[in-house]
Amino acid sequence: AQSVSQHNHHVILSEAASLELGCNYSYGGTVNLFWYVQYPGQHLQLLLKYFSGDPLVKGIKGFEAEFIKSKFSFNLRKPSVQWSDTAEYFCAVSRGGGADGLTFGKGTHLIIQP
Partner 1 sequence: SQTIHQWPATLVQPVGSPLSLECTVEGTSNPNLYWYRQAAGRGLQLLFYSVGIGQISSEVPQNLSASRPQDRQFILSSKKLLLSDSGFYLCAWRGQPSNQPQHFGDGTRLSIL
- Residues 45, 37 contacting (CB under 8 angstroms): yes
Does 29 help bind partner 1 (rule: CB under 8 A)? no
Does 107 help bind partner 1 (rule: CB under 8 A)? yes
- C-alpha 5/C-alpha 104 separation (Å) is 8
x/- map, 50-79, partner 1, by CB under 8 A: -xx---------------------------
Q: Phi/psi of residue 24, each to 5°?
A: -125, 145
Q: Which stretch binds partner 1 (CB under 8 A): 10-18, 66-74, 77-85, 93-101?
A: 93-101
Does 103 help bind partner 1 (rule: CB under 8 A)? yes
Cβ–Cβ contacts within 10 Å for residue 112, how many? 19
Q: Phi/psi of residue 71, each to 5°?
A: -105, 0
Nearest approach in angstroms of CB 63 to partner 1 is 15
